[in-house]
Amino acid sequence: MKRLVETLIPHEPGLGLYVAPDIPRKKVRNALRDYAQGVSESEVLALYDATWMENAKDGAVFTADRLVFQNNDFSPVQDVRYADIVGVEGKRKLMGGRNITLQVNRGRATFDVILDFSFRPGACQYVVAFLQEAMIRVLDEEGQEGGAAADAPAGDVSTNPVEVRAALKTLHLRGVLTSSDLRAMLRAIGVSPDTDTGESG
């Protein structure tokens, strides 16, 4: 994931984007103290500073397995594992600026969280690109693990809904499986398509 961060997120202070090892230590410490207390300094691969004062007390930190962010002091902290992301969409806001809507799946519930780029909209496209690739990479890794398990000798073979779901989501994200076919296949393995994909109908 470190290489993916370095490839897709530029170190561009003018956009509020900082990539390790060149993140100012004060910014990292402010972010960890203010909203990302569960992250250690050595885990931070990149940081987005969403503040006018450039103190990094709002924004996002990116690690090898998740992002932690807070849009402002009045919004809740969000801790999102890349493995739980099932959708990433960058949107232009009506009053200017941009935001990213993340569809997050935990258990059998899918919900949206929003990462705000009102102050530095130019950073949005880079974070979208990274999160989309991180999401697909995690799904690929899950699929490879499932493939290795399938190759292992076994007695009675049974369908593993978690592995099948991960493989189907990968195909859907790559545009080779339609939404209706995805829903039908999820139903076939006993997974509710509405809660699993965030789609209705």
Q: Which helix (H) or strand (E) holds 128?
A: helix 124-151
160 assigned to some structural domain: no
154 assigned to some structural domain: no
Q: Which residue range(s) make up the domain with 101?
A: 2-136
180 assigned to some structural domain: no
High-pLDDT (> 70) share of the chain, %: 85
66: domain CATH number is: 2.30.29.30
144 assigned to some structural domain: no
pLDDT at 172: 73
151 assigned to some structural domain: no
97 assigned to some structural domain: yes
Residue 10 gets which letter from DSSP?
Answer: -
For 42-69, the pLDDT digits (tens) are: 999 999 999 999 999 999 999 999 999 9
Q: Return the half-sphere exposure (C-beta side, CA atoms, 13 A cut-off) of residue 131.
A: 28
179 assigned to some structural domain: no
For 139-195, the pLDDT digits (tens) are: 777 766 655 544 555 455 566 777 777 777 777 776 767 777 777 777 777 776 654
27 assigned to some structural domain: yes
C-alpha dist (Å) from residue 80 to 64, 96, 152: 12, 26, 32
Q: Which of 128-132, 186-190, 195-199 has the lowest mean pLDDT?
A: 195-199
Count up the domains in the chain and report the number.
1
How far apart, in whole angstroms, are the C-alpha atoms of residue 110 and residue 89? 15
Decide: 31 and 18 in contact? Cβ < 8 Å.
no
Neighbour-count burial for 63-80, b at 16+ CB within 10 Å, e otherwise: beebbbbbbeeeeeebeb
Going edge to edge, which strands form the sheet with 46-49?
17-19, 46-49, 59-62, 66-70, 78-81
Number of other residues whose CB lies within 10 A of the CB of residue 141: 12
Hey, which residues does 78 pair with through a beta bridge?
Answer: 69
